[in-house]
């Protein structure tokens, strides 16, 4: 049996619908061993996968005041109480240096004390078939024996933006595809429409005429933020898909040649979700913030698949 646990109720429909598995809405910090142990089937290898919120460790969070970083401690304690056969954890690479690296090291120490063999490393998404330049810290641990991280599958041929979204119907800004309600783009203001019309694929706002540059970027404190208000390139992987990828001003999320930001469906495809993946019930109103959060917070699917294959290969090798 597979089951999903999250504090976000919006996860229920996509998890249960696409995975045909139960969903438990609960704060990881409040989970007990009883909550989790009852989800495992007797005599089968138990696997516990945890992804503490990455925002506290992200470079986007400059002040590190988000208390949810403590959930990594909670996950470590849960592992000690449940003692699953195999553990998988992923997060942003900056976790390795957060608070001088002590937080991550304490997590690893807990696993070592509990007799787990641990392997960890930073995996580059495009090396595993993800058309997105996202790197993730991945840790695997096993009580069954030594475990290895997944080996790259696409190191010599990275997938591109064109590979993932090149065949989708064209949209105007604020437009919606009649056949797919998630293939919709946010509406641009007049100034942002003029800005994206001047944007070059792979370029920055520094390419614009001075009258288009935002006032904040004219200041010394804003001149270094060149990764916003940009277009993606067809022939390269996309930048990291965040929870606000549908906003042109939130990153290099402009469509390569259409004057709009990414649609929700395009963001999902760049995260590796299948074309028909359902995020909300049919007929329900689509909220950009809700669906964007579900897509951007997800572990990229192709990377998750690579991790799952590594776990399966490990289990088969020790049987």
Q: Supply the DSSP symbol for 135.
A: E
DSSP secondary structure string, 229-251? Answer: S-B--TTS-B----TTTT-GGGT
216 among known catalytic residues:
no
Question: How far, in Å, CA of 293 to CA of 282, rounded?
Answer: 18
Question: How far, in Å, CA of 316 to CA of 100, rounded?
Answer: 37
Q: Hey, is 55 helix, strand or coil?
A: helix
Q: Which of 11, 51, 54, 216 is catalytic?
A: 54
The structure tokens 């989800």 sit at 39
Cα–Cα nearest to 194, from 178, 212, 177: 212
Element (H, E) at 73: helix 71-82
Contact by Cβ (8 Å): 264, 253: no
**What is the 3 state secondary structure string of 182-208?**
EEECCCCCHHHHHHHHHCCECCCHHHC
The structure tokens 């999902």 sit at 268
Q: Two tokens at 305? A: 């698949």
The structure tokens 């390269």 sit at 236
Residues identified as active-site: 54
């Amino acid at each position: 049996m597979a089951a999903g646990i999250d504090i976000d109720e919006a996860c229920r429909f996509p998890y249960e619908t696409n995975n045909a598995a139960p969903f438990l809405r609960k704060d990881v910090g409040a989970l007990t061993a009883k909550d989790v142990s009852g989800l495992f089937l007797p005599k089968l290898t138990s696997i516990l996968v945890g992804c503490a919120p990455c925002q506290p460790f992200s470079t986007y969070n400059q002040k590190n005041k988000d208390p949810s970083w403590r959930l990594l401690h909670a996950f470590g304690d849960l592992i000690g109480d449940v003692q699953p056969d195999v553990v998988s954890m992923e997060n942003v690479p900056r976790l390795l240096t957060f608070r001088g690296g002590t937080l991550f090291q304490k997590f690893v120490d807990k696993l070592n004390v509990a007799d787990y063999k641990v392997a960890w490393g930073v995996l580059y998404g495009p090396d595993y078939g993800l058309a997105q330049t996202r790197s993730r810290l991945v840790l695997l641990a096993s009580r069954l024996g030594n475990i290895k991280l997944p080996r790259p599958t696409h190191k010599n041929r990275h997938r591109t933006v064109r590979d993932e979204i090149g065949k989708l119907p064209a949209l105007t800004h604020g437009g919606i595809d009649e056949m797919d309600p998630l293939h919709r783009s946010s509406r641009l203001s007049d100034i942002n429409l003029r800005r994206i019309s001047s944007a070059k694929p792979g370029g920055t706002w520094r390419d614009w005429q001075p009258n288009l540059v935002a006032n904040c970027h004219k200041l010394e404190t804003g001149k270094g933020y060149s990764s916003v208000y940009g277009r993606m390139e067809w022939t390269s992987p996309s930048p990291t898909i965040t929870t606000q990828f549908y906003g042109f001003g939130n990153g290099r999320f402009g469509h390569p040649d259409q004057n709009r930001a990414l649609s929700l469906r395009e963001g999902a495809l760049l995260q590796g979700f299948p074309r028909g993946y359902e995020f909300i019930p049919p007929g329900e109103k689509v909220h950009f913030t809700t669906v964007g959060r579900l897509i951007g917070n997800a572990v990229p699917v192709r990377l998750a698949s690579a991790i799952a294959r590594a776990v399966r290969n490990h289990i088969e090798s020790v049987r």
